Structure 1
Amino acid sequence: MTTFAIKIRLNRPLWPPLIAVLALATRIWGEPGLSQPHLNPQPRSAEETARIATARAAPKDFTFSEPFEDRPAGAATVPYNSGDNAFSHPAENLENRLDFELGRALFEKLWVASPSSTRASDGLGPLYNTRSCSNCHINDGRGHAPDGPDDTALSFAVKLAVPAASDARMAAIEDYLATAPEPAYGSQIQDFAAPGHAPEARIRVKYGQRRIDLIGGEASLRIPQLTLDDLAYGPLDNAVMISPRVAPPLLGLGLIEAIPAEDILALADPEDRDGDGISGRANIVWSVEYAQPMLGRFGYKAAEPTVRQQAASAFQTDLGISTPVFSDPWGDCSPAQTTCRKAQHGDADIRGYEADATTLDLVTLYSANLGVPARRNVDDPHVLRGKQIFHQAGCPACHQPKFVTHRLPDRPEHSFQLIWPYSDFLLHDMGDGLADPRPEARATGREWRTAPLWGVGLAQQISERAGFLHDGRARTLLEAILWHGGEAQAAQSHIRSLPVKDRHSLLSFLESL
């Protein structure tokens, strides 16, 4: 691992991140590296390590595109199309298309409450946010925030937690922030309910405005103000911590899962020993499936370790559907919601769970193999100039352009691919403007996982209302940039000071991703 990490880290001093990696791994398991028990990777040869170092090196000449830059998911990249289904195609190198389409059908299926004659589709709720996965992940892309207090909150969720004294499972993890579900409402507000039950609350968002001066003009940022009206199960706990979220896009999740953990950890510099102002940290989370701590990769705070656990968590909290991973038939209903817990559920038949292992596996396969569209205009001079500005502003310090996935004999569609997600998958302090009070595992309220940028230029082609950032407050990519603070403040300030032409070039680059 040490030799590999030394070779791949080309744009920052190496020894502080490596010390942090080794120290973190030693604290958790007593030996370097983080376990990935769901994979069966082959070790890399010295020749492969050298090839990877060359492929991942930062560009020095911005007058032409890099090799394979137009194929952000490697052999899994799908041809670009201009429709709103551009994110919904199977990875180009996926052979198991039949199971993918079965997974799509389950992802789009409308679940119904129990009791029902449609036994294979019952078990919804009783409290829930949506009847279908695809209702939130619109066309497999991102959701949107309500545009105002009278708009619906579909594809928008409100997470809840209260502080907890400790979590014995994670006692060995330094800086772990223990939380528990809110006593009356659980871990998420469910704003829909089956007949005979009351929705937990009505979610409302209104916005203030903040003007930002730019060279050659100004921008207006929306400042969201969230309220929960008509609370049906009593007042919220005084210590409640609230975090609103829009549904994230589902691009390339299986490839992200296939990135070696040590490659992500090699980018961490939690003490900022190199003095560049960037101090990414790994989130370490509990794996329910493997009963051990694992590197978090998915979600706005990297709180989920695998695609399968992420899918199971969404079944539980968004739909109130039980799975082999989260088996409570009442979903996210709290112990205080006795009517919900005593209701008839959909797990009393041959399935055993409302979404059995086969269903969960098929939805996982579908989610893990949605193709990333090919880049557009990679050799356009404005795009290349924008890419240069992206690097000059220091954006790759967090939005790491490239990785090479594990060599995986059991998952050839994800195996040994040069991919361009533009994320380090680490936590970064993004400042007061984006902070909320709710931590997740090691992530504080100010820390967020670096958002992958692949496909970001197509977000509003997929869904014209798609918003950016964790709560969808940003309506444009420029607004998203202007919300960056904390560790990203220097990059944001650099971009604010750009001449209009250069700012447009930067946006052209982002729109090409």
Structure 2
Amino acid sequence: MFDPSLSIRKPWVLLCFSLFAMVLSHCSLLPTPSDPRFTALEPGEELAGGATTVFDTGPNAFAFSARNMSAARRTDFLVGNSFFEQNWVIAPASTQGRDGLGPLFNARSCSSCHLHDGRGRPPRNQEGMVSMLLRLSIPGQDPHGGPLPHPTYGDQLNERSVPGVPGEAETRLSYTEVPGTYADGTPYRLRRPQIEIHNWAYQAPSQALAVSPRVAPAMIGLGLLESISEADLLTNVDEADADGDGVSGRANFVWDAAAGAHRLGRFGWKANQPNLRQQTAGAFLGDIGITSELFSAENCGEGQDDCAKAPNGGQPELSESMLDQVTFYSQTLAVPARRDADAANVLAGKKLFYEAKCTACHVPSYTTPVREDFPELSNQKIWPYTDLLLHDMGEALADHRADYRADGREWRTPPLWGIGLLETVSGHMELLHDGRARGVAEAVLWHGGEAAAARERFRAMSATERANLVAFVKSL
């Protein structure tokens, strides 16, 4: 290696140094946007969550607290975990502080949707919706510019209910096969989901009803995503596609109920939640039927008299301290380290990932700023592979349901970290917002709109190249 302490005084030394610099410029191990060459790991790349990263590849890989957390803070994490895992019961009950389930609900606990803190999936066979839900809305906007709930069925369909209250409807999921062919002639088959809703408990919706299926995302690294500075996220916004790469990227600005103002959206499949506290409170109400100071009204719609008359577990049912503890738990779940990150096929796949311009949306890394309330999450170089922005993903993935600034074809770029451990943690690899893709390759092949060019680059690859790109993604 060149010794930077060498004193350069003679012309022949200067000539050698110039030639050496030219060689480095053509054979650099560091990536550049125009000519990515990856023959070695970037510094710290294997630590997806920086110093918070944990080293586990088993079924509980998503369930650990940030590795750099103090013992005292880990106690708070465990308390939050206990509330995350607990089953809520019907009110009134002797278990005060943990009653108030429903009257309408989809799950009895947070972990019912996020088993092992992992990712949900579509129902199979005759299963009901548990780790997958249906968002509902009708034409128009609510007072804050968000989607307008159906007057009776609200913004989320609840199939389950407490005794004496009817569940809102029954759903049936089916698929049709969509055949396709790679450029090398290799055939593939995708599956397109169809949702049917039957046996409405009240009058069937007469207005145009938008229905959007969503699976529960994995819980890892959420506090790190919340910590990325707004300025860093907005740097990637390019609504007019000024750089001409075909990718625009738009920020969603959504209602922050606690602040009483619109804020940058980061969480949810359409970036419709501004922070983890509101995301948590919204899930308690929509999924479990548990009210909080943030969302104090039971999820009973017009005409749902039995629902409105059902006993509750107090007003609100979720204490502020319990909401804070579950939110803290969500904020401090760690990201597992990458696996085989320096393997030759993984590095080759990384090069292809960059060349296909996947990083236009799946932005590799950020450095978090200082957070006085979260020293664990401060000044961390993280590798989530997302921009948290909205992108037009094409008609094939459209749900035709607007959500604040997000239109019916736009989705937030999901982070990719941990994706290679989903099968171990969650028992499946059903990807995208509705779980239609049975693995990484199918997920890429569903990409359209702004991502259509990247999809076609993937389709044009050889079988070996496709396998290498998938190996890279599964190493994240």
| TM-score of the pair, normalised by structure 1 | 0.84
| Pairwise CA distance, 1:273 | 1.6
Q: Deviations over 1:333-362 (max 9, x none)?
A: 213212211221101xxxx42111011001
Q: Could you tell me how far apart the structure 1 residues matched to 2:180 and 2:415 are?
A: 25
Aligned position for 2:354: 391
AA at the equivalent of 2:194? Q
* Contact 1:147 1:206 (C-alpha < 8 Å) held by counterparts: no
* Contact 1:182 1:237 (C-alpha < 8 Å) held by counterparts: no
Q: Deviations over 1:464-484 (max 9, x none)?
A: 234210011111111111000
Aligned position for 1:359: 322
SS in 1 for 2:430: coil
Matched, 1:219 2:188: yes
- In the TM superposition, 1:89-238 aligns within 5 A as 89-95=64-70, 96-148=73-125, 150-164=126-140, 167=143, 169=144, 178-214=146-182, 215-238=184-207
Q: Deviations over 1:26-73 (max 9, x none)?
A: xxxxxxxxxxxxxxxxxxxxxxxxxxxxx9975843111100000010
Q: Deviations over 1:87-133 (max 9, x none)?
A: 00111112211111111110010001112121221101001000010
Matched, 1:452 2:420: no
Please say which structure displays the higher CA radius of gyration: 2
AA at the equivalent of 1:367? S
Aligned position for 2:219: 250
Counting aligned pairs with the same residue, the percent is 46
AA at the equivalent of 1:336? G
* Contact 2:212 2:399 (C-alpha < 8 Å) held by counterparts: yes
* Contact 2:36 2:354 (C-alpha < 8 Å) held by counterparts: no
Q: Could you tell me how far apart the structure 2 residues matched to 1:185 and 1:357 are?
A: 27
Partner residue of 1:341 out of 308, 311, 315: 308
Aligned position for 2:398: 435
AA at the equivalent of 2:300? C
SS in 2 for 1:293: strand
SS in 2 for 1:142: coil
Partner residue of 1:408 out of 362, 371, 375: 371
Partner residue of 1:285 out of 238, 245, 254: 254
Q: Could you tell me how far apart the structure 1 residues matched to 2:142 and 2:31 are?
A: 40
Partner residue of 2:39 out of 55, 63, 69: 63
| Pairwise CA distance, 1:407 | 1.2
Q: Could you tell me how far apart the structure 1 residues matched to 2:290 and 2:459 are?
A: 46
AA at the equivalent of 2:152? A
Q: Which runs of 5+ in 1 are unaligned?
A: 1-54, 171-177
Aligned position for 2:474: 511
Q: Could you tell me how far apart the structure 2 residues matched to 1:186 and 1:152 are?
A: 19
Please, what is the CA RMSD of the aligned residues? 1.5
Q: Which runs of 5+ in 2 are unaligned?
A: 1-29
Aligned position for 1:476: 439
AA at the equivalent of 2:178? R
- In the TM superposition, 1:234-313 aligns within 5 A as 234-313=203-282
Q: Could you tell me how far apart the structure 2 residues matched to 1:138 and 1:166 are?
A: 32
Q: Could you tell me how far apart the structure 2 residues matched to 1:447 and 1:212 are?
A: 24
Matched, 1:324 2:293: yes
SS in 2 for 1:164: strand
Aligned position for 1:88: 63
Q: Could you tell me how far apart the structure 2 residues matched to 1:467 and 1:323 are?
A: 32
Q: Could you tell me how far apart the structure 2 residues matched to 1:57 and 1:361 are?
A: 42
| Pairwise CA distance, 1:216 | 5.0
SS in 1 for 2:431: coil
Q: Deviations over 1:295-324 (max 9, x none)?
A: 000010000000110000000100000111
Aligned residues: 443
| TM-score of the pair, normalised by structure 2 | 0.91
* Contact 2:53 2:66 (C-alpha < 8 Å) held by counterparts: yes
AA at the equivalent of 2:421? L
Structure 1 residues 114 and 421: CA distance shift in structure 2, 3 A: same
| Pairwise CA distance, 1:165 | 5.4
